[in-house]
Structure 1
């Protein structure tokens, strides 16, 4: 997958099918949108995702927003889906003021050679967000592209949105999060050395420090899956600061992997959170912590 970032000067070769969106969560609605452009590859159109960096929320509100998918996670997801080109278009005061008509004609058509455009019915682009589905429709014949407008996906009667996913993650409702995403909610990173307390009490774990901008569910214990070196394992994961050990611990994602005993420090692991087991707790002793962990292991295994 080709990634174009940090520049407004780009040009791709050949005709393309372009999906426009924020893609901050890659939920079912986003997947529906992406499937439309992927279907165009049978007609030799390149599948192109056009998104913004930073996100419109971060740019216009001026504050960092915790991410459902970090940049690296989004890139991995897009590549696995079969996207050919990802454009992380720089959002600045200048580019945000682009007349909507110029955005369509000079970027989507001239630079990307769009023969097919897919967008949500709430699409917004260009100066003051004046670009919308009606402008895309009105320019489609003149500019020679086919337009597909995608209605909102609904689950249990309510729209699937990034805000809804965020709320479910914040509540620790991982089963609903999985339904809304169409896949597991996970945290990935390089396995680091921890304080080795797990080895001390007979419960060795792998430790991942999540990116600071990653949205995490409530601190606690979760039944999980671990994707490591191309293989899938079952596990039990603690998210939090390990208050029994120290009040100054960094927020970490610590996972006991069932029936696993390998040295994997430095390798990349993806931890998929399946079900909340219990909140994080502080214990009076390491022995009490060990007893609880053994109980958690059996509960998560079952």
Structure 2
């Protein structure tokens, strides 16, 4: 997958099918949009995702916003789907002020060779967000690209949106977040060395530091699925600060992997959350923590 992050990289030689969106979380609505451009590959078009970096939400509020998918997680997901080109359009004061007509004509059609464009009916782009579905419709006739606009996807009578998914994750309703996403909500990263307490009490765990900017659910214990390479295992995951044994307030994702005894330090793993089991707690002693961990392991098994 080709990744474009700079304006001087926008010149594409082959015709493309472009999906425009923020794509935070890549939920069911996003997947419907992405299927449209992936289907165009059979006609020889390059499936292209056009998104913004930083996200418009983060750029316009002026401070970091916790994301469902980090930049790297989105890249991995798009590549796994079969996307050919990912444009992470640099959003700044100058580019945000681009007249929407120039955005379509110069960037999408001339630079990126758009032959097909897919977007939601609420699409917004260009200076002051003046670019919308009506402008795309009129310019598709003028410039000769095919346009497909989709309505919001509904689930249980409500719109599927990144905000709705975020609310479910923040509330710890992981099964509902999974339904909205159409896939597991996961946290991934390189396995780090911890304090090795788990090994000393007979409950070895693997530790991942969540990426900066990643939205985490409430601190506590979750059932999980752990992906190590091309293998999957059942797991028990604690998200939080480990108040019984740690005083540095660092947030970690610590997972006990069932029926697993390999050394994975320095390796990349993905922890797919399944269900919230109990909140994080501070115990009076390490022995009481050990007893609770063993109970959690058996309950989740």
Task: Establish whether TM, by shorter chain, passes 0.5.
Answer: yes
Return the offset for 1:6.
2.9
SS at match of 2:13: coil
CA distance in 1, matches of 2:143, 2:6: 26
> Equivalences for 1:1-302 in 2 at 5 Å?
1-301=1-301
Write out per-residue CA displacement over residues 20-40 of structure 1, whole angstroms, 9 at most, x where no aligned residue.
001112110001100000000
Instruction: Mark the runs of 5 or more structure 1 residues left unpaired by the alignment.
Output: none
Judge conservation of contact 1:8–1:89 (CA < 8 Å) in 2.
no
SS at match of 2:72: helix
SS at match of 1:256: strand
Judge conservation of contact 1:222–1:274 (CA < 8 Å) in 2.
yes
Calculate the TM-score normalised by the size of structure 2.
0.99
**Which consecutive aligned stretches of 4+ in structure 1 deviate over 6 angstroms post-superposition?**
none
CA distance in 2, matches of 1:178, 1:298: 24
Return the offset for 1:9.
4.5
Judge conservation of contact 1:27–1:160 (CA < 8 Å) in 2.
yes
RMSD: 0.8
Calculate the TM-score normalised by the size of structure 1.
0.98
Return the offset for 1:10.
1.9
Return the offset for 1:216.
0.1
CA distance in 2, matches of 1:7, 1:108: 12
CA distance in 1, matches of 2:81, 2:30: 12
Write out per-residue CA displacement over residues 192-216 of structure 1, whole angstroms, 9 at most, x where no aligned residue.
0000000011000000000121000
Return the offset for 1:246.
2.1
CA distance in 2, matches of 1:92, 1:63: 13
SS at match of 1:110: helix
CA distance in 2, matches of 1:212, 1:40: 35
CA distance in 1, matches of 2:278, 2:247: 19
CA distance in 2, matches of 1:180, 1:112: 31
CA distance in 2, matches of 1:246, 1:24: 33
CA distance in 2, matches of 1:283, 1:52: 44
CA distance in 1, matches of 2:148, 2:34: 11
SS at match of 2:40: helix
CA distance in 1, matches of 2:22, 2:10: 20
SS at match of 2:111: coil
CA distance in 2, matches of 1:212, 1:140: 39
CA distance in 2, matches of 1:106, 1:202: 62
CA distance in 1, matches of 2:244, 2:26: 36
SS at match of 2:272: strand
CA distance in 2, matches of 1:144, 1:299: 60
SS at match of 1:94: helix
Judge conservation of contact 2:10–2:107 (CA < 8 Å) in 1.
no
CA distance in 1, matches of 2:175, 2:59: 32
Write out per-residue CA displacement over residues 29-56 of structure 1, whole angstroms, 9 at most, x where no aligned residue.
0011000000000000000000111111
CA distance in 2, matches of 1:210, 1:289: 23
CA distance in 2, matches of 1:23, 1:238: 28
Return the offset for 1:249.
3.7
CA distance in 1, matches of 2:164, 2:277: 22
Return the offset for 1:8.
4.6
SS at match of 2:7: coil
